[in-house]
Structure 1
C-alpha cells in the first residue's frame, strides 16, 4: 500500500523537477488559503480581509504558495495526460467510508456535501490523490527495473543462491481522507490535499 509520506515525497520531487511559472494571482490566493488554514488550526477566528497577513508575512509565504499552485497544476496536467479520473463508483465508495467514520448515513452525507457545494472539491482532491498514487507506483516499478538492469538480485533470486541479503520496501497506506478531513496548515510544498478538504482549491 502507498502511504501519505510516499505521496508527499512524490509531490515534492515533482515540484522540484518542474519549476513551471505560475500566475501571481493564483499564488496570492494560495497564500491567503494557507494563512486561513493556519488560523483555523490554531483555533483562531477567521479575519475579514486577513489584516494580519501583512506584506512581510506574504513575502515569507510566497515560495510555498507558488509551489502549492505549481503542484496542483502539474497534477492536473498528469491526470489529463494519463486519463486519470474519479468514477461515480469511487466517489460513492469514498462517501460511504467517510460516512461510516462519522457514524452518519451515506445518503445524508452526500446531501450535505451537495448542499455545501463540496462534491467538486472532494472529487478534485480524490483525483489529485489518484495521480500521486500513480506516480509513486511508477517510481517503484522504475526502482525495481533499475535493480535488475544493474544485475542486482531480487530477494527470491538471492535466496535461491543461498544469499541472505534482503531488498524490499514496506509501504503502508493512509486513506486519502487527508485526510486531502484536513484543516491544517501547510506552507509546505509537499502537502497533499485530501478529499475531505473543506476549503476551495
Structure 2
C-alpha cells in the first residue's frame, strides 16, 4: 500500500504535519508493505488562483504533480490546520488549482481526515467543512477525527499521542484504511 500523508498547512513546525506523520506511522506499524510518503505543501506553492491567472498560466506544473501524487496513492491521510475557522490559504490555493485539473481531486482514494490545534476546539470547524465537502471532490472518507489541545495530548519529544482515549480513536480511524 502506498500511503500519502500531508498537513493542509504551510507551517514548517506544523502540528498537523506531526499528527499526519504519526497517524501514517500507525498504519505502517500495523500492516506489512506500507510505504509512507509525507508531502510538504510548500513544495507546491503557486500564485494565488484566479481565472485570469489560469488563462495566463494554464495548469501549473505544481498542481499537476500534486494531482499525480494523489493518483499514485492507495490511501491518504490529511490533517487540517484551521485559520480563522477555515482552510489555510496555502492549502486552499493548492486545492483550487488542482480542482481545475479535475473536480475529482481525490480520485476516490480512501482517506482519513484529521485536524488538530493548540486549543480545545481541535480545528473541528475546518474538519467539518472538509468532510462535508469531500464527496463533491471524489473523496472516499473512511474516518475523521479532531484532536483537541494538541500540546496537552501529544508528546513532542517522542512524537506520539499520550491520551489513551484519543490514541484508541486514532488507531480505529487509521485502521479503516487497511480494510
Q: TM-score, normalised by structure 1?
A: 0.23
The structure having more radius of gyration, on CA atoms, is 1
User: Which has more strand, going by share of residues?
Assistant: 2
TM-score by length of 2: 0.25
Which structure would you say has the larger RCO, counting Cα contacts within 8 Å and 6 or more residues apart? 1
